[in-house]
Amino acid sequence: VSDTRAGGEFLTAPPALAPRPLDEIDTPALLVDLPALDRNIGRMAAFFQGRAARLRPHAKTHKTPRIAERQMAAGAAGITCAKLDEAEVMLRAGIPSVLVANQIVGPLKTARLARLSRLGELIVAVDSLANAREIDEAAGREGVAVNVIIEVDVGMGRSGSRSVEQTLELAGLVERLPCLRFRGLMGYEGHAVFVADKDERARLAREANALLVSHADRLRDAGLAVEIVSAGGSGTYDTAGLHPGVTEVQAGSYATMDATYRRILPEFECAVTVLATVISRPAADTVVLDCGMKSITRDFTLPEVRDGDGGAEVVRLSEEHTVLRLASGRAPAVGMRVELIPGHGCTTFNLHDVIHAVRDGVVVEVWPVAARGGSR
């Protein structure tokens, strides 16, 4: 395992490679509890065991090949990515099949997509005729075939075909273009995944999955082979994973979780925290930490203090500070350590070069967040 992120050198001491106690790790530091991570991966894998649909975990959350490898070892069909930067990192790490659940547009990106298609099975989501044509041309120049699925908007109101007619026209074109290989459809029910009421969440997800499957049925009626029908996120894995006709589920956050998903997915554990040091206790009810929004996101919701720590609550984040308000007098003193659970895992992993993998208070491995910052 390299102890530097790809292309970069650490200005301070490199992270530990030998096991060492947490208190020897400088802060702020991104931690992943290894037993909790493995239990989450195992729990999700067990759900998919023996089912028609398979799990293709979204790696935009952790951006870390070492975690993707654990997900593959637990039976995943491949990995989902949002960007080519992530896909390249995963393919080069040996992940055999990567779905880019996003549009890859423009001459620079489509040329790169075609080149990366040499590294393993790479599948990309398309939702316009123009994009299908430019990928076909880039693939032709590179002398490869590019795997394509068509994205359908199943109610989120983001990218994707908005009608069966649009899907049919696009699939027909993809099928005819010489350097594209039509593989199927995807439709992410992002409007459903965070709905707090479980029944309502499942209802919205079923509706979205049914719409996606209806597009797949119409394509089959038109003579197309629809191999992949990909849906779902962590909030809807147990609906999408059971929906007849859905073949793959793109859940990502479940592996490490966050404070937002923790409220609706009690079956998974929060494995990710940011370790911080108390740098100030300016008043009896106030503590200030050495991490701010440059090391933990304020996306979705403010971070939560792990284990409650005597009723401490995050009230403010600035760039390099977190302010905690204390409900009781049991406050951590200056120099003590506190673990925060991020409100959103995906936008927190992206702020760190490495993950400290922790078992029973000991950092046992350090993993580069190899695709961190990879937004291209």
Ligand X SMILES: Cc1ncc(COP(=O)(O)O)c(C=O)c1O
What are the counts of helices (DSSP H) followed by strands (DSSP E) for the chain? 10, 18
Nearest-CB residue for ligand X: 233
CB 209 → ligand X: shortest distance, Å?
A: 13
Q: Are strands 312-317 and 354-359 parallel, antiparallel or unpaired?
A: unpaired
**Stretch of 32-40, 116-124, 186-194, 350-358 lying at the interface with ligand X (CB under 6 A):** 186-194
Does 167 contact ligand X by CB under 6 A?
A: no
| Separation of alpha carbons 259 and 189, rounded Å | 20
- Binding footprint of ligand X, residue count (CB under 6 A): 14
Residue type present at position 247: T
**Which is nearer to ligand X, 254 or 349 (by Cβ)?**
254
**Which is nearer to ligand X, 15 or 235 (by Cβ)?**
235
In 3D, which of 365, 311, 374, 376 has the Cα closest to residue 338? Answer: 311
Q: DSSP strand E in 54-134: where?
A: 54-55, 79-81, 97-100, 121-126
Cβ burial, residue 24 (10 Å; 0-12/13-18/19+): exposed
In 3D, which of 102, 98, 76 has the Cα closest to residue 89? Answer: 98
Does 188 contact ligand X by CB under 6 A?
A: yes
**Stretch of 195-203, 248-256, 264-272, 327-335 lying at the interface with ligand X (CB under 6 A):** 248-256
Does 372 contact ligand X by CB under 6 A?
A: no
Alpha-carbon 326 to chain mean position: 33
Angle between helices 107-116 and 129-142 (to 10 degrees): 50
Does 58 contact ligand X by CB under 6 A?
A: yes
Residues near 57 by Cβ (< 8 Å), separated by ≥ 6? 44, 68, 71, 76, 79, 80, 250, 251, 252, 254, 255
Does 184 contact ligand X by CB under 6 A?
A: no
HSE of 114, CA atoms in CB hemisphere, 13 A: 22
Does 252 contact ligand X by CB under 6 A?
A: yes
Does 349 contact ligand X by CB under 6 A?
A: no
Does 149 contact ligand X by CB under 6 A?
A: no
**Stretch of 13-21, 114-122, 207-215, 251-259 lying at the interface with ligand X (CB under 6 A):** 251-259
Residues near 281 by Cβ (< 8 Å), separated by ≥ 6? 287, 288, 331, 332, 333, 334
**Which is nearer to ligand X, 111 or 264 (by Cβ)?**
264
Pick one of 34, 204, 208, 251: the residue that binds ligand X (CB under 6 A): 251
**Which is nearer to ligand X, 159 or 286 (by Cβ)?**
159
Does 109 contact ligand X by CB under 6 A?
A: no
CB 169 → ligand X: shortest distance, Å?
A: 22
Within residues 219-238, the interface with ligand X by CB under 6 A covers 233-235
Write out the residues near ligand X by the rule CB under 6 A: 58, 61, 101, 188, 190, 193, 233-235, 250-254
